[in-house]
Amino acid sequence: MSQATSIIESKDLTKRYGNFTAVDKLTLTIREGEIFGLLGPNGAGKTTTILMLLGLTEPTSGMLKVCGYDPLHEAIKVKRTVGYLPERVGFYEDLTARQNLDYTAALNGLSHAEAERKIDEVLDTVGLKPKSDQLLSQFSLGMKQRLGIADVLIKNPKVAIFDEPTSGIDPEGVEQILSIILGMAKRKMSVILSSHQLHHVQRVCSRVGIMAKGHLVAEDSIENLGKATLGEGKFRIEVQAAPITEKVVQAIKHIKGIASVEVIDNVLKIGSESDVRNLIARAIIDNDSLATGMKIEEYNLEKIYLKYVKEQ
Amino acid sequence: MSGLMSVFRKELTDNLSSKRFLILLALIYLAGIATIYVVAQSIRSSVDANTQFIFIRLFTTSGEDLPFSFPFFMSLFIPIVGIALGFDAINSERSSRNLSRLLAQPIYRDAVINGKFLAGLTTITILVVSLVAIVSGMGLRMIGIPPGAEEILRIFGFIFISILYGAFWLALSILFSIVFKRTATSALFTIALWILLFFFMPFIANGIGNAMIPVNENSTLELAAKNDELTRNISRISPSTLYGETVQVLLYPEMGNPSALLMMISIYSSGLIPRPLSLLQSLLITWPQLVSLIALTAICFSVSYILFTREEIRST
Ligand SMILES: Nc1ncnc2c1ncn2[C@@H]1O[C@H](COP(=O)(O)OP(=O)(O)O)[C@@H](O)[C@H]1O
Ligand SMILES: [Mg+2]
């Protein structure tokens, strides 16, 4: 296991609304410096979990420590080190981007000079420097979302929590947001990213937790989850060849990066770490056989996700 | 602390530059100046050599063409200003989705309420002080008699109680902005409550008083006094009554007797002929009213804290 210290630790964290349990006995550890993806369909309890992390709602029971503090009773300390971008964030529409960030800087106790410098820096990071004096009423959803990230960065957080930052954003905007998040991780910030859009999370997260109906049903690296669900290798390659001889199978097994080879119903099912279709074709021909069809599939979180969510 | 000051500064800037406030300010200045203009005309024609407290009459006389005096005008407008400044304090932050972001910053939730309240209070103070200053300046030019030291103190008292009255309506409307998630609803409820307390409270108090202690032409004087006392006490639920009584004692030293008790004090202290109450007496007499007004404001605050500090803050 990694030696990194944990920044978020929860044990049996539970939130009930009347008889309805929104988060059920969540036990989770998030380590320093990782990008953690909190995945799950709508209503899974992601937002509720995040609200508890920030002391914005009170847990019904269970233990929770964020950066070593109790979010409910040491809320100020937690909020000094943790940045939060709410789902569908809002700003003061009658103020400019800079004025909005000015207020956040003041609330975080930054001096005027510090604030000016920091605001320039974070606006640059999210690519909104040219728009800094525009009123928020003229901002698109994607721009608001990026300004939301800038708003989080103002306080120089150790941990940034983004709730559905890519939801409702066009592909170009999603691209921008994801690359900003990757940049943050390079600067040793921990990021928690909640989403129901798996292909976004998959691109940036080192580890994911999958939530369904209030339960954390899986928590691991994407790679390990993939292995557990889909078998060895990152790619699944299916090859139809005639004839399939032992020689062919052995030759394929010797290709670098091949994790597994099986023959099922006269079809070669190959797990591999990389796309080695050309090498496989060469091996088949070199061993006096003929490839008649080849299909490649990259495993993705979608499968893993659907598997766990359906199991619930 | 930094949180409170930051919220205060932003809200004060917002208040002073908002269209809503500027329109209200223009209306109030115009109406205030018009009132004083008429009042000053009628004072000039009624003053003789023996009249005491001439300057303060600016604030108490109602002109012939004008049905009401300056304090009445204030008791009508101050609640409107308080409500206009507070009715959307918290729920507008909620509906614009700023609240989650705001409360994710390292500040106590109280700081948001307190900062908004202090900004509103400062705005009300600016409005009341500037209005009284304009009115006094105009009055001085028109009647040409400067105020005495005691009159100045009484006017300061009037300013203070007017601000306190505004503070109550501000605190109440901030409370309603927490209770009601929609700004339209909270506006409607605060205005409804204002109309009830301001216009209907006297009738309600009268109704209850007469129901509990019925009186007619044959009733003893004692019974009539009891009925009167009960009616007065009931109507003191309304901050408008508290404000009205205090202002009466402060600005009408010759006749300000909002209760039987007051009447006695003024008679005991001056022999059988009522003499103007001294400033100290006026302050002593208005003390319960002042405390009640402060207590009502404090109640609004406590309820706001209780509701707001434990509330779940969701952005959707
Ligand atoms: N205040 C509330 N009262 C009752 N149920 C709630 C409340 N807030 C959220 N829920 C329910 O809790 C569940 C989890 O919600 P949420 O955490 O927002 O889901 P997610 O963010 O994963 O989409 C949902 O089924 C939602 O209806
Ligand atoms: Mg959510």
Quote the minimal CA–CA distance from B304 to chain A in Å: 17
Helical residues (DSSP H) of chain B, grouped into ranges = 2-17, 19-46, 70-86, 91-95, 99-103, 109-143, 149-179, 183-195, 201-212, 221-235, 239-251, 260-270, 279-309
Cα-to-centroid distance, B93 and ligand 2 (Å):
19
B310 CB within 8 Å of a chain A CB:
yes
pLDDT for residue A312 is more than 80 = no
Q: Average pLDDT in the A93-114 region?
A: 96
Predicted local distance difference test score (pLDDT) of residue A229: 66
- Containing A208, the helix (H) or strand (E) segment is strand A207-212
Residue type, A39: L
Predicted local distance difference test score (pLDDT) of residue B255: 53
pLDDT for residue A269 is more than 90 = no
Burial B200-216 (b: 16+ CB within 10 A, else e): ebeebbeeebeeebeee
Residue among B1, B8, B105, B110 with most chain A CBs within 10 A, to mutate? B105
Contact A115, A151 (CB under 8 A): no
Ligand 1 site residues, Cβ closer than 6 angstroms: A 17, 20, 22, 40, 42-48
Predicted local distance difference test score (pLDDT) of residue B61: 72
User: Using omega within 30 degrees of 0 as the cis cutoff, is the peptide bond preceding B214 cis?
Assistant: no
Cα-to-centroid distance, A226 and ligand 2 (Å):
25
Q: Average pLDDT in the A30-49 region?
A: 93
Predicted local distance difference test score (pLDDT) of residue A233: 64
A262 CB within 8 Å of a chain B CB:
no
Closest CB to B100 among A56, A58, A82: A56
Whole-number Å distance between alpha carbons of B280 and B153: 11
Whole-number Å distance between alpha carbons of A127 and A123: 6
What is the chain A residue with the closest CA to B102? Answer: A104
Interface of B with A in 96-115 (CB under 8 A): 96-98, 100-108
Residues of chain B with pLDDT under 50: 256-274
B20 CB within 8 Å of a chain A CB:
no
Nearest atom (ligand 1) to Cα of A211: 22
Whole-number Å distance between alpha carbons of A187 and B167: 48
Contact B25, B123 (CB under 8 A): no
Query: Structure pTM?
Result: 0.86
Q: What is the DSSP letter of A5?
A: P
Instruction: Fold for A231-311, please state it.
Output: Alpha-Beta Plaits (3.30.70)
Nearest atom (ligand 1) to Cα of A214: 14
pLDDT band at A132 (very low <50, low <70, confident <90, very high): very high
Q: Provide the mean pLDDT of chain A.
A: 89
Domains of chain A by residue range: 6-226, 231-311
3-class DSSP state of A227: helix
Q: What is the DSSP letter of B48?
A: -
Whole-number Å distance between alpha carbons of B235 and A82: 51
B111: tokens are 């700081």
Whole-number Å distance between alpha carbons of A174 and A142: 8
Q: Average pLDDT in the A262-267 region?
A: 86
Predicted local distance difference test score (pLDDT) of residue B47: 66
Residue among A48, A107, A112 with most chain B CBs within 10 A, to mutate? A107
Q: Given this structure, which CATH class describes domain A6-226? A: alpha beta
Residue B115 C-beta-side C-alpha neighbours within 13 Å: 23
Predicted local distance difference test score (pLDDT) of residue A21: 96
Predicted local distance difference test score (pLDDT) of residue A231: 61
Greater pLDDT, A90 or B205: A90
Cα-to-centroid distance, A22 and ligand 1 (Å):
6
> Of A30-44, A91-105, A254-268, which range is least confident?
A254-268
Q: Average pLDDT in the A27-54 region?
A: 94
